[in-house]
Structure 1
Amino acid sequence: MKTIYLVLIILMANQVIAQDSLSTNNSLLSKRIPAWVKTVIEKSEVAKNYTIIDSINPFYLEVDLTGDKLDDIVFFVRNNLDGKKGVMIINRGKNVLFVLGGGKDIGMGDNVNWCNRWFVYRDKGIFDGVGKKKASLKYPAIRLEKSDRLSLYIYWSGKKYKTYVQLFEE
């Protein structure tokens, strides 16, 4: 009888440990993100397919990307199925989320694993490598970079998120 209890305890402990690795991560995240974001993530079927990467600095970006006067939250994420990296934007005004990259094509593939730096881009335009304007920006954008050789801009067009790839010659 003691053996059966011991086996049951071990099985239950393994299950708790397996679940706890996710809940511990969520517990840590819960302390570091706004409460409204947790609600959107918990209700989203899409979010279940991704893991938030907190090793990039800053851990998340907070900015009004759509001009609704409410700050949106942006995370760097990894697709749980294929490991591809992307960006998850959580729109506060509509309480919905969008994933760009992370297995979804963004105009230069479906993976932003090359990114080693990201930040909020507040200029009013996106320019190519020789200074020619490629897009006008009404709202801030997210800029992903690989050193100084490659940049990807993610911005709101007024109807949807768009991207622009900027390559620099050496």
Structure 2
Amino acid sequence: MRSVLLVPLFWVTSLQASWLPSWFTKLFNDKKLNERYTIIKPIKPNFLEADFTGDKINDIAVQIVDKTNKKRGVLVINGGTNKHYIFGAGSKFASEDFDDTNWLDGWSLHKDKVAYKTLFDTGGDISGSKKVKISHVAISIYAIEDGSELTGALIYWNGAKYVSIHQGE
């Protein structure tokens, strides 16, 4: 398990201004998200930027940790609407059964128009996969074991809301 370096809030805030787009940092603070969450950058890239919703305006995803429960998650702020969405960090993950991404070793932009959702039987064993159409760029988060992606989730906008699908073991 990785350790998290906790630094004084004023230092984190000044770091956020230096490596994140200013509009994102301003919204993070204006929405008072900085009171509950700390933006962390345990893996590279430090943030993901793409048009996740198809509105032709880039959105930003960062990794966060809840200051109270220390659970990790992903925060997305949509550039066009300025709405924010939290996956994990103590909140139920979209379409999944977990609320902490402490297992996350890597993330990337998924630009393919197709993904495969892992299916499980009632006993929890993998029973196959289902092809899923993805209309916009998605966020792929995953655990790594022996240098390969082992398991993870794909977070994507389905036209009305963010959902996720389980991928891998």
TM-score band, normalised by shorter chain: 0.7 to 0.9
What does residue range 116-127 of structure 1 map to in structure 2 within 5 Å? Answer: 116-127=105-116
Q: Is the 8 A contact 1:123 1:140 kept in 2?
A: yes
Report sequence identity in percent: 32
Give the gaps of 5 or more residues in structure 2: 1-6, 119-126
CA-CA distance at 1:91 after TM superposition = 0.5
Aligned-partner Cα distance in 2 for 1:76–1:23: 18
- 2:103 is matched with which residue: 99, 114, 120? 114
- Equivalent residues in 2 for 1:31-70, closer than 5 Å: 31-70=18-57
The TM-score, its normalising length taken from structure 2, stands at 0.82
C-alpha distance in 1 between matches for 2:89 and 2:25: 20
Q: How many Å apart are 1:117 and its aligned residue?
A: 0.5
Contact 1:155 1:163 in 2 (8 A): yes
Indicate conservation of the 8 Å contact 1:141/1:153, yes or no.
Answer: yes
Question: 1:71-118, CA deviations, whole angstroms, 9 ceiling, x for partnerless residues?
Answer: 101001111111111100010001121111111111131011101000
Hey, what does 1:78 align to over in structure 2?
65
Displacement after TM superposition at 1:149 (Å): 1.7
Q: Which residue of 1 aligns with 2:137?
A: 140
AA matched with 2:139: I
In 1, Cα distance between equivalents of 2:80 and 2:64: 21
What SS class does the counterpart of residue 135 from structure 2 fall into?
coil
CA distance in 1, matches of 2:117, 2:160: 23
Flag the structure with more relative contact order, 1 or 2, with Cα contacts below 8 A and sequence separation at least 6.
Answer: 2
1:76–1:87 CA contact under 8 A, matched in 2: yes
C-alpha contact 1:37 1:73 (8 A) present in aligned 2? yes
| Structure 1: 4+ residue segments shifted above 3 A | 128-134
Residue number in structure 2 paired with 1:16: none
**TM-score for both structures, normalised by structure 1:** 0.81
Matched residue, 1:104: 91
Unmatched segments (≥5 aa) in structure 1: 1-19
**Distance in 1 (alpha carbons) for counterparts of 2:152 and 2:35:** 28
> 2:122 maps to what in 1?
none
The answer to which of 45-54 and 25-34 deviates more is 45-54
Could you say which residue in structure 2 is the equivalent of 1:4?
none
Matched, 1:87 2:74: yes
Q: Residue type of the partner of 1:135?
A: V
Write the distance in 1 (CA, Å) between the matches of 2:117 and 2:23. Answer: 37
